[in-house]
Amino acid sequence: MSIALRGVTKQFGEYAAVENIDLDVPTGALMALLGPSGSGKTTLLRIIGGLETPDQGQVLFDGQDATLWPIGDRKVGFVFQQYALFRHMTVFENVAFGLKVKRRRERPSAPAIRKKVQELLALVQLDWAHDRYPAQLSGGQRQRVALARAMAIGPQVLLLDEPFGALDSQVRHELRRWLRRLHDELHFTSIIVTHDQQEAIEVADTVVVLNRGKIEQVGIPGEIYDLPESAFVHRFLGQVNELPVLLRDGRAYIGPIDISAAAEVQTGSAQNIALIRPHEIEIGQPSSGWPATVVAVRVIGPIVRLDVCADGHSVHEPLEAEISRERFEAERFTIGQRVGVRFRRWQVYPAAA
């Protein structure tokens, strides 16, 4: 089922949680709503699910105006951040809940319910836990029960609100892969809310970056990371170094490096900054680029982080560069060593952004 939002706005008192959102979610997509807290991503999810009503705008399910449909009618599976498992019911009863409360005409027989629940529990690999209580399960296990429960009603859309936020990083990693596989097998339309850009990039087909109630950018993970459309997205999607861009004699400079003709860095603003990712910085011989001094070296698994202080640039803000382990082994950079800094890629934005 496809979902579309048209001009959706929601205010809480004076505060606009989401403003004039237009969004299309194609059938079968796994879309991530990514943003910092307060960006409106959870509010948007709840509006789609029917837990909030927008003040303005429409929510369309397969082209039909579902804005005022009650939650029960929307057939969406909702998984809350804190799982909201019914603590006084067993795992089995939790998963069976949606089936047991159906109207008499639609309610399956008891054996049919049992069969369905067992299927679902097997799918989430928790069939052994059917008579346990939520308090007896780990966080990752509870999360899977919550998912099985949501799937029991046969939804066409799955809405997940920061589903892995409360879990250890190892468990999170495993569950992300598992969720992606499940999604590919069962072809839901899924929307997942997260503040973790790593998670969004790993799991989703499409990422929607939200900031302060508005959409900053929509695109596939690679695009968002490599071709950010605004400084906010650029900063949010990973580490960045920020350097002012200076205009001299018709050309643009970052430090002593000529980056292009000034005409090519038109942003419409007088003050500009360049955002450069750590792995887009090249470290070489002192004569090969902007002279700098290495002030810190940190070996982190497969990469090595070098903090370098470029001449003329504030000593309190060293540049963070990342090079491969192999490169580091070859060059053996040390603290105090003089090097030359070059930029492979950069993007320029107005300074106010």
Q: Interface residues with another protein (CB under 8 A)?
A: 6-7, 12, 20, 22-24, 43, 46, 49-58, 68, 70-72, 74, 76-78, 80, 82, 84, 86-88, 97-98, 101-102, 149-150, 152-153, 215, 218
- Are the C-beta atoms of 304 and 322 separated by less than 8 Å? yes
C-beta of 46 vs 183, nearer to another protein: 46
Residue closer to another protein, measured from CB, 220 or 247: 220
What is the nearest approach in angstroms of another protein to the Cβ of residue 46?
7
CA dihedral defined by 86, 31, 48, 157, rounded to 10 degrees? -60
Task: Identify whether the C-beta of residue 164 lies closer than 8 Å to the C-beta of residue 134.
Answer: no
Cβ 116 to another protein, closest distance in Å? 13
Task: Give the number of C-alpha atoms closer than 13 A to the C-alpha of residue 85, restricted to the C-beta side.
Answer: 29
Give least dist CB 20 to another protein, A: 6
Helix (H, G, I), strand (E, B), or coil: what is residue 295? strand
* 225 within 8 A of 277, measured Cβ to Cβ: no
* CA–CA dist 135, 260 (Å, integer): 61
**Beta carbon nearer to another protein, 57 or 278:** 57
By C-alpha distance, which of 285, 286, 258, 289 is closest to 274?
A: 258
- Which secondary-structure segment (H or E) carries 218? strand 214-219
| In the complex, minimum distance from the CB of residue 77 to another protein, in angstroms, rounded to a whole number | 7
CB closer to another protein, 215 vs 231: 215
Report the nearest approach of another protein to the CB of residue 36 (Å): 17
- In the complex with another protein, the residue whose CB is nearer, 10 or 277, is 10
What is the number of other CB atoms lying within 10 angstroms of the CB of residue 221?
Answer: 19
CB of 174 to another protein, least distance (A): 24
Taking the complex as a whole, how short is the minimal distance between the CB of residue 297 and another protein, in angstroms? 38
Provide, rounded to whole angstroms, the least separation between the CB of residue 84 and another protein: 4
> Which CB sits closer to another protein, 25 or 237?
25
Kindly write down the DSSP assignment for every residue of 119-162, as one continuous string.
HHHHHTT-GGGTT--GGGS-HHHHHHHHHHHHHHT--SEEEEES
Distance CA 265, CA 239 (A): 22
Please tell me whether residue 339 adopts helix, strand or coil conformation.
strand
Please state, in angstroms and rounded to a whole number, the distance separating the CA atoms of residues 54 and 50: 9
Select 22 or 168, whichever has its Cβ closest to another protein. 22
Closer by beta carbon to another protein, 68 or else 247: 68
